[in-house]
Amino acid sequence: METIIITSLITAIISIILTIVIKTAIDKATAEKANKSAKEIIEEAHKTAENIKKEEVLKAKEEILNEKTELEKEVKERRQELQNQEKRLIQKEETLDKKLENIERKEQSIFDKEQNIDKKQSEVEMLKQQEIKELEKISRLNVNDAKELLLNKLRDEVRVDAANIVKEKMEEAKENAQKNAKQLITYAVQKCAADHSSEVTVSTVVLPSDDMKGRIIGREGRNIKAIETLTGIDLIIDDTPEVIVLSGFDPIRREVARIAIEKLMQDGRIHPGKIEEMVEKAKEEVNNVIKEEGERAIFETGLTGIHPDISKLIGKLKYRTSYGQNVLNHSIEVAQLAGIMAGELGLDVKLAKRAGMLHDIGKALDHEMEGTHVQIGVDLLKKYKENDIIINAVEAHHEDVEPKSEIAVLIQAADAISASRPGARRETIEAYIKRLEQLEGIANSFKGVEKSFAIQAGREIRIIVNPDNISDSDMVLLSRDIVKRIENEMEYPGQIKVHIVRETRAIEYAK
């Protein structure tokens, strides 16, 4: 058994050894064969590379030869071209030489002619001097004296003729100017016809019944006092059936009072709180009317580019008067007249209309600011960068300054035409309004005064003071100071009552 196992092991070992020997022999044979193949491949590659190298060298030589041939051909062509250009240049030089020779001959000829001309001119000058000397001997005058004599004679004749012509033309121009001006003004006035009605200082409110008078007066007159205090308008309630008269020089205040009373009657509730509410609503409504009137006036005159603030001031002129004449209607009329005359004279119609519409714009603010309406208007238009021609027309329309343009002269004429229409103005109204404005201006100039209202046709001034700034004792001193100012600065018939109101309110809300 052991012998069998040993024999098997020996057999296995021998088999393994034989396998290793055989494998080694095979690998060695394979490697020799591979080396041989590699050597053959390398030799073949060397041969191929050598062939390729020879072919490329041949190709390169061929290309070099071709390029050399082309280059020689090109050089030959360029040499031929240069030779041709050289020939052409030589021909041109020959031509120029010939032309220069011709020019030199012509220059010489011209020089000879100039010499002849100079010689002849010298001869002419000598003959002229001889003639002048002969003439001086005959006339016994030298050249300068003769010239002076001739010029003086001509000057005198021309001066006389010119004076006659100027005189004739001036007389003709005056006749034509007067005739044309009359025709132009007549045409403008006829074409721009306007209705005129003098402004009054009272308004009436129709009541539904006489019982409404008592309600408007209120218990112990509290309602009527509230209306008069808030609006600055005097309410006249007399025996006239179903009518209340509103008296006051300021048309805006009268309109506010009228609208407020009508609204109170429609509402039915009349008491101080409601009165204050309705007065505020009426003021709002009047402001809207002012805006609409300004826009209407601008549209009616065909103006454009008017600033909204200026438009509002134009509308405010509806409630201003000048010698009883409505200032807005007057401004529209002046604009139309100036536009018509400018059109006839060939001037800028739009510029003339604009100047006419704005010439009295200062009257919208003259009761709020110091200075004449002309100066206020000029400052206002400068602020809004208006045209210099228009500013001069506004400043010159009352001849405060010299007019600098034809437009300014037209505005003066149109303003005079509008004011001089029969029934257009009334002097007493303007004086009356100015007196009332002066009265309110004096009151408003004192510190602590909130607002003041001239009522009773200027026989009373009602002053509302700020309760925080003016005490009860201060009111006595204030009334005396105002009275002294009125006495020293104003002229008025009878007496003026100074009525100062100091009101303190306490307001709380129940929540």
Give per-residue pLDDT as tens, 306-351: 888 888 888 888 888 776 678 888 888 889 888 888 888 888 989 9
Rounded distance between C-alpha atoms, residue 352 and residue 357, angstroms: 9
Residue 252 bridge partners (DSSP): none
Highest mean pLDDT among 13-27, 35-49, 90-104, 169-183: 90-104
Strand order in the sheet with 202-206: 202-206, 243-247, 234-236
pLDDT score of 507 more than 50: yes
Task: Please report how the helices 406-420 and 327-345 are oriented relative to each other, as an axis angle in degrees rounded to 10.
Answer: 130
pLDDT at res. 198: 42
Percent pLDDT > 90 in the chain is 3
Using alpha carbons only, give the angle 498, 501, 502 rounded to the nearest 5 degrees.
Answer: 140
Q: Which of 319, 318, 325, 282 is nearest to 300 (CA)?
A: 318
pLDDT at res. 190: 52
* Mean pLDDT score, 351-373: 85
pTM of the shown model: 0.48
Q: Which of 396, 403, 307, 410 is nearest to 351 (CA)?
A: 410
* Mean pLDDT score, 245-266: 84
- Lowest-pLDDT range, 43-47, 164-168, 180-184, 276-280? 180-184
Q: Which of 412, 425, 427 is nearest to 185 (CA)?
A: 412
pLDDT at res. 482: 92
Report which of residues 80 and 322 the model is more confident about. 80
pLDDT tens-place string over residues 185-196: 655 555 554 544
Q: Which of 372, 423, 380, 428 is nearest to 401 (CA)?
A: 372
Which spans in 346-489 are helix H?
349-358, 373-383, 388-396, 406-420, 427-444, 472-489
Q: For residue 313, give both structure tokens.
A: 């001031």
Q: For residue 198, give both structure tokens.
A: 């003098």
Q: For residue 14, give both structure tokens.
A: 């021998």
pLDDT at res. 196: 44
* Mean pLDDT score, 130-148: 70
pLDDT at res. 463: 92
Q: Return the H-helix or E-strand segment holding 493.
A: none
Residue type, 506: A
pLDDT at res. 191: 53
pLDDT tens-place string over residues 267-314: 888 888 888 888 899 889 888 988 888 888 888 888 888 888 888 888
